[in-house]
Structure 1
Amino acid sequence: MLQRHKAQLRHHARLNHGIQLAHWFNSGDRVTNLSNHHTLSLYIADGYDTWHKTPYGWRNGGGPDRFCLMPAGTESTWDLRADLSFVHLYCTEAHLRQMAEEIWDRSSAQLQLHEKVFASDDRITQLYRHFLLSCDWQQPASQLILSSASTLLMTHLLQHYSDVQWRAPRVRGGLAPVVLRNLLDFIEAHLDQPLTLAQLSQQAALSEFHFARMFRHSVGEAPHQYVMRRRMLRAKAMLADDSLSLTAIALSCGFSSPSHFTNRFRQMHGMSPSLWRSNPPSSGADEG
């Protein structure tokens, strides 16, 4: 719908369960939105001269970190009188209900999201900026953090912006030892692939919500943190072999290009893989 207007699609990603992400830019446009899916929008930059049509006239209130929640079937009209950069997360009604049933082990006939316009929520801002906007959406190694963040966002919407507003269930204890052992073996065997939260939770026969919390309880870090750490440990071990190219190492560790591998390696270790290879730290500096 947006592409029929002046909106420019900057980035796009498809995640599990029909969830999609889209990074847009628009300016000087009037748009009427009516979709068969839910849309959570966060303003990334500008948006100060964005207006929303209400029964009482046009209302302004946009700006960075403001969010809008547009439930499926809700029509809204917007007048963008200046620049606006924003990110949309799209989710189907079917997936929202499936997620609710998996988390709370019950269903609700009144599962309806609330429309929100120009609202503020520190948790939504944190999940967007710290997770969704901090990685390259097209890289296989980013899929786990993207799927984890989208699950957290949808759970937050269910808890705070729906008719049910159920409390988050308590998760006591971690994964059973045999389940954890098999799961860690699965991760190690698939570090070269774009792992997702759905894949890992299926290995443990748990919902994504419960799996993420039980994994953290057992391992001491989130799934995406653990997987990235294991990828980096594999990369450092492979860098010791001068016969291996950076491309081969990148692909073996789940990165689709040497440049993406180099960027993530530098972020975590303060130097490029090439510099690490030529001047590796002492063996005691590495964690096993």
Structure 2
Amino acid sequence: MPYKKQIIEDLTRWIDMNLHRVHSINDVATRSGYSRWHIQHMFKQVNQMTILGYVRQKRLERAAQELAESQDSITTIALRHGFGSQQTFSRAFMKWQNMQPSRFRSCARLGQRNPDVEKQHAQPG
């Protein structure tokens, strides 16, 4: 495995385990030992997305799981996953899932899925 890819895979695993600690690219750059520019460039080459885009995606995925499985309020879930407010979370969630978090929760509890999202994930990227 090329050296750069291994560095980014290790860093990606660290991000996954430490989402609560990642508040900026500086946090990731400090962990990696590389400059902000260099680590952002390497990360995007390997993962085809920015570091902050990856962090947001993972936070949304974990929040979606909680929406489906817990009784916690949407605001509580939003704040727990690093979103500054329910409104910020709802906008990001809507962009990602094409539905509001409350609707997602209702559908998840009924065992329904969002067909638009399934189509997006099924397309080769």
- Report the TM-score when normalising by structure 2: 0.75
Residue 224 of structure 1: how far off its partner (Å)? 1.6
Give the distance between the partners of 1:188 and 1:205, measured in 2 at CA.
Answer: 18
Alpha-carbon distance in 2 for matches of 1:279, 1:220: 30
Does the CA-based 8 Å contact 2:19-2:59 persist in structure 1?
A: yes
1:238 and 2:66 equivalent?
A: yes
Q: CA deviation at 1:193?
A: 4.5
Q: How does 1:143-162 map to 2 (within 5 A)?
A: none
The corresponding residue for 2:4 is 175
Query: Could you say which residue in structure 2 is the equivalent of 1:198?
Result: 26
**Structure number, greater radius of gyration:** 1
Q: How far off its partner does 1:254 sit?
A: 0.8
Tell me the CA shift for residue 213 of structure 1: 0.8
The structure 2 residue matched to 1:259, chosen from 66, 83, 87, is 87
Q: Which has the higher contact order (CA 8 A, sep 6+)?
A: 2
User: Are residues 1:276 and 2:122 paired?
Assistant: no
Change in 2 beyond 3 A, CA 1:216/1:247? same
Q: How far apart in 1 are the matches of 2:52 and 2:103?
A: 26
Q: Is the 8 A contact 2:44 2:50 kept in 1?
A: yes
The sequence identity of aligned pairs, in percent, is: 25
Paired residue type of 1:192: H
Within 5 Å, give how 1:79-94 maps onto structure 2: none
User: What SS does the aligned partner of 2:4 have?
Assistant: coil
> Which has a greater percent of helix?
2
Match of 1:249 in 2: 77
* Root mean square deviation of aligned Cα: 2.5
Which deviations, in whole Å up to 9, do the C-alpha atoms of 1:193-215 show, x marking residues without a partner? 45211111122211111111111
Larger strand fraction of residues: 1
Structure 2 CA distance, aligned partners of 1:187 and 1:196?
Answer: 11
Give 1:216's match in structure 2, choosing from 25, 28, 44. Answer: 44
Aligned length: 114
**Following TM superposition, by how much is the alpha carbon of 1:255 offset from its aligned partner in structure 2, in angstroms?**
0.8
Q: Supply the distance in 2 between the matched residues of 1:222 and 1:194 (Cα, whole angstroms).
A: 14
Instruction: Give the TM-score taking structure 1 as reference length.
Output: 0.36
CA distance in 2, matches of 1:213, 1:275: 37
